[in-house]
Structure 1
């Protein structure tokens, strides 16, 4: 018996894609104890319904909507998902297996579409320091966080076989977690990521914080699901996500990497890494502008994001945020 509930965050606008999620839930081999659907305050619930879900309302935001469901859940495990995924019938059993072994507190299926495609885009991502193919550890690792704040990934995942890969980060699209671990990690302390109206890297922040607090995550290679990507929240944004990506990247690096390091030499290396990352981002924006694929507003937004983040981590407001590593 697997004691779990499902928490879905939505704006109620995913339509047919949300219906596909609901249909897949009804076909799961192991049914949830509860289905909690979290909408922002003032939003109408979707017309698509199963009939057993509970609609609740929170402040709008990726993090607030994710956390709000926890106060209604008493199950041992929780499946957190967005409103645009489809789950395979045996999804829950496969994700529960590594958690029951005691080695991991969080699991997910592979979402390989999030990896940079091979070719020019891969080379570009590697040079920029944001993402690169893992050079070692491919036998047992899915994603590793780099000292730039970026990540390296395993490009050799075989979804046709059953394997468990440890990981330091995951897409927040869909994951299965021990409920007490989610509560223990105090994700509410990371609300700074919502400051700019676009919570860039909120998944990286969550899973690496779990890692820093001894709650290990994994990917089950054959736990399959589809990501239909409703794209309801950022279609009209331009400078906002560019600014937020720069801002959140720097604060994530400072808070979850630099401040979690005690060795002076390692801290020096991490400073060099983030300096390299920022310089490469600035260079990339210049290249894009010359190619007509960016503009001065986007370039200015990126620079301002990094500048404001550096000021923020020295502010009184930031110093009031509890440490990443939770002391009992």
Structure 2
């Protein structure tokens, strides 16, 4: 282990209901070989402060919403920030190792692999492809890559303990340079919070904003960092509303992060459109089968309507008036 001297603070978003998992997280933070300067807990407005207390948590009343609460990490002044959910366990040397990795690879942020897609069963991998064109790749020295369709592909055989560059990661935890976090102005994306929690992949948008604005992100495999409640945010596939909003999320994430970028030529945009069309048609076929089995067309219609309404939204004044995804120095 390198002789690491650095300062960081922790930003946790919560609604105060993680219970024992929250306690495990706090205790693991207090046990770090390099202690945080502050542990800021961004508690959604209107929710009760957790009774659990370990020692140095500072509670901040924050507008409810995944983006509002994550963007509240802007208050950190130390050189580094650890941005996490409220149910993550860290081995005692995890933060120090992440810091050392940033220095070794000259990177700006690092996320532990808390959702190991490469470990999914064959049937889960098949389902991920059919519903969302998520697929594995051979080990090419990268972790997650974003496809033209907006879906991701994952390294199906990473080396044990590897640290690879990545284009996305799970939003569970990320350790990064505070100046980089502030530079991407994640608070510009609070428009996402009008969608129900658990339906919008705001973590992918966050990471792609980091990448597309020229910063370097890493993923750390077999880190020992654990997401203690990995099923918390999974939306039911049987809910019309959640299928509808998930469909909107797919289109809007693709449009903002992949299609509507200044670097894209007209040929790039055409390729992106064709890739998304394939993703859309494949997922429609799955929804069609499910609708037939359930004797109801609503599962298919929800998916189609979500995509159509998302297409309308990107043409609206509300969307057009959003700050650019690729930021100029003045933004």
| TM-score for both structures, normalised by structure 2 | 0.91
> Could you tell which deviates more after superposition, 96-105 or 145-154?
96-105
Q: CA deviation at 1:115?
A: 5.1
Aligned equivalents of 1:273 and 1:151: distance in 2?
12
Question: Taking structure 1 as reference, are residues 295 and 61 closer, same or farther at Cα in structure 2, changes over 3 Å only?
Answer: farther
Aligned equivalents of 2:241 and 2:43: distance in 1?
22
Partner of residue 306, structure 1: 307
> Could you tell which deviates more after superposition, 263-272 or 117-126?
117-126
The answer to whether structure 1 residue 276 and structure 2 residue 275 are counterparts is no
1:163-214 deviation digits (Å, cap 9, x = unpaired): 3200000100011011111111011222232222235110100001110001
1:59-99 deviation digits (Å, cap 9, x = unpaired): 1111101111322x111111111111111111011111232
Q: CA deviation at 1:2?
A: 1.8
- SS of the equivalent of 2:312 reads helix
**Contact 1:130 1:150 (C-alpha < 8 Å) held by counterparts:** yes
Partner of residue 47, structure 1: 51
Q: CA deviation at 1:102?
A: 6.3
Q: CA deviation at 1:37?
A: 0.4
The answer to whether structure 1 residue 10 and structure 2 residue 14 are counterparts is yes
Q: CA deviation at 1:299?
A: 2.8
Q: CA deviation at 1:139?
A: 4.0
Partner of residue 288, structure 2: 286
In the alignment, structure 1 segments of 5+ residues that lack a partner are: none
| TM-score for both structures, normalised by structure 1 | 0.92
Partner of residue 184, structure 1: 183
Partner of residue 134, structure 1: 137
1:264 to 266, 269, 283: 266
Aligned equivalents of 2:222 and 2:232: distance in 1?
28
Q: CA deviation at 1:288?
A: 1.5
Q: CA deviation at 1:100?
A: 2.3
Question: Taking structure 1 as reference, are residues 257 and 240 closer, same or farther at Cα in structure 2, changes over 3 Å only?
Answer: same
The answer to whether structure 1 residue 99 and structure 2 residue 98 are counterparts is no
In the alignment, structure 2 segments of 5+ residues that lack a partner are: none
Partner of residue 239, structure 2: 238
- SS of the equivalent of 1:317 reads helix
Partner of residue 83, structure 1: 86
Q: Considering only aligned residues, what root-mean-square deviation do their CA atoms show, in Å? A: 2.1
* Matched ranges for 1:111-130 at <5 A: 111-114=114-117, 117-130=120-133
Partner of residue 219, structure 1: 219
Aligned equivalents of 1:306 and 1:30: distance in 2?
46
The answer to whether structure 1 residue 318 and structure 2 residue 322 are counterparts is no
Q: CA deviation at 1:289?
A: 2.2
**Contact 2:130 2:286 (C-alpha < 8 Å) held by counterparts:** no
Aligned equivalents of 2:200 and 2:96: distance in 1?
31
Aligned equivalents of 2:299 and 2:257: distance in 1?
26
Aligned equivalents of 1:245 and 1:129: distance in 2?
11
> Could you tell which deviates more after superposition, 48-57 or 103-112?
103-112
Partner of residue 201, structure 2: 201
**Contact 1:79 1:176 (C-alpha < 8 Å) held by counterparts:** yes
Question: Taking structure 1 as reference, are residues 233 and 59 closer, same or farther at Cα in structure 2, changes over 3 Å only?
Answer: farther
Aligned equivalents of 2:129 and 2:117: distance in 1?
15
Aligned equivalents of 1:271 and 1:172: distance in 2?
27
Question: Taking structure 1 as reference, are residues 324 and 241 closer, same or farther at Cα in structure 2, changes over 3 Å only?
Answer: same
Partner of residue 35, structure 1: 39
Question: Taking structure 1 as reference, are residues 52 and 90 closer, same or farther at Cα in structure 2, changes over 3 Å only?
Answer: same
Question: Taking structure 1 as reference, are residues 102 and 156 closer, same or farther at Cα in structure 2, changes over 3 Å only?
Answer: closer
* Matched ranges for 1:160-175 at <5 A: 161=161, 163-175=162-174
Aligned equivalents of 1:158 and 1:102: distance in 2?
17
